[in-house]
A and B are shown apart, each in its own frame.
Chain A
Amino acid sequence: MSNNRDSINNKVSNSAEQGVNFTIDQVAENALLLSWQAKISLTQHNEIIALQAMISQQLGELIIETVASYHCLMVYYCPQLSSSMQVIDKINRITKNVSYKHSDGYHQDNNPNHKLAHQPARNHCIKIPVYYDREQQWDLADVAKRCNMSMDEVIKQHSAHTYHGYALGFTPGFCYLASLPESLQLPRKSSPRIKVPKGAVAIAEQQSAVYPIESPGGWHIIGQTPLPMYESHHGQFNARIQVGQNVQFYAISKAEFIALEQGLTE
Chain B
Amino acid sequence: MKQNFLEIITMNGQASIQDLGRLNAQHLGFSASGAADEFAFLSANKLITNKLNIKPEHNIAKINNKLANDAAIEITLGQVSLKANAACTIAITGADCQAKINNVTINNWQCHQLDAGDIIDFAMPKTQLHSYLTTAGGFTCQTAQQPWLGSLAQTVNEMALGFTGKALMVGSKLYFSKQNKPLADATPTQKTQLDSLKANRPTTSPALFYPQQKLTLRVMPSHLFLQMSSAQQQQFLATEYVISPDSNRMGYRLHVKPTQTSSPDKKILTQQLRSQCLLSMPVTYGMVQFPDNEQPIILMKERQTMGGYPVLGTVMQTDLFRLSQMRPGGKVSFTLITHPQAQQQLRAFYQKLY
Chain A residues within CB distance 8 Å of chain B:
1-7, 23, 25-29, 31, 33, 35, 38-40, 64-74, 76, 78-81, 84, 167-174, 176, 213-215, 232, 235, 237, 239, 243
**Cβ B27 vs Cβ A65 within 8 A:** yes
Contacting pair A176 B280 (CB below 8 A)? yes
Given A3-B338, A169-B305, are A67 and B26 neighbors across the interface (CB < 8 Å)?
yes
- Which residue on chain A has the smallest CB distance to residue B223? A25
Q: Decide: A28 and B305 in contact? CB cutoff 8 A.
A: no
Binding site for A on B (CB under 8 A): 23-30, 60, 63-64, 146, 148-149, 157-158, 160-161, 163, 220-223, 226, 230, 233, 276-282, 284-287, 304-306, 314, 316-317, 336-339, 342-343, 346-347, 350
Q: Which of B26, B27, B278, B287 contacts A27 (CB 8 A)?
A: B287
- The smallest C-beta distance from A106 to any residue of chain B, in angstroms, reads 22
In the bound assembly, the distance between CA atoms of A214 and B161 in angstroms comes to: 10
CA distance A12 to B60 in the complex (A): 34
Contact B339 A169 (CB under 8 A): no
What is the bound-complex CA distance between A68 and B339, given in angstroms?
22
Residues of the A chain whose Cβ atoms lie less than 8 Å from the Cβ of B350 = 80
Known contacts A70-B279, A170-B304: A6-B338 contact under CB 8 Å: yes
Residues from chain B with Cβ under 8 Å of A7 in the complex: 223, 226
Q: A29-B317, A70-B281, A171-B158 are in contact. Are A80 and B64 (CB under 8 A)?
A: yes
Chain B residues closer than 8 Å to A64, beta-carbon distance: 23-24, 64
A33, chain B: closest CB distance, angstroms: 7
Given A81-B60, A169-B305, do A28 and B220 touch, yes or no (CB 8 Å)? yes
| Contact A172–B346 (Cβ < 8 Å) | no
CB-contact partner of A169 in B149, B230, B280, under 8 A: B280
Measured between alpha carbons, how far is A39 from B287 in the docked complex, in Å?
22
CB distance from B334 to the nearest CB of A (A): 13
B339-A26 in contact (CB<8A) = yes
A81 to B30: give the CA distance in the assembly, Å: 24
> A64 to nearest B CB, angstroms?
5
- Taking CB atoms, residues of chain A closer than 8 Å to B28 are 168, 172-173, 237, 239
Q: Check A172 against B221 for contact (C-beta < 8 Å).
A: no
A185 to chain B, nearest CB (A): 13
Selected A-B contacts with CB under 8 Å, 12 pairs: A5-B221, A6-B338, A38-B278, A67-B305, A71-B281, A79-B346, A80-B64, A81-B64, A84-B343, A167-B282, A168-B305, A172-B30
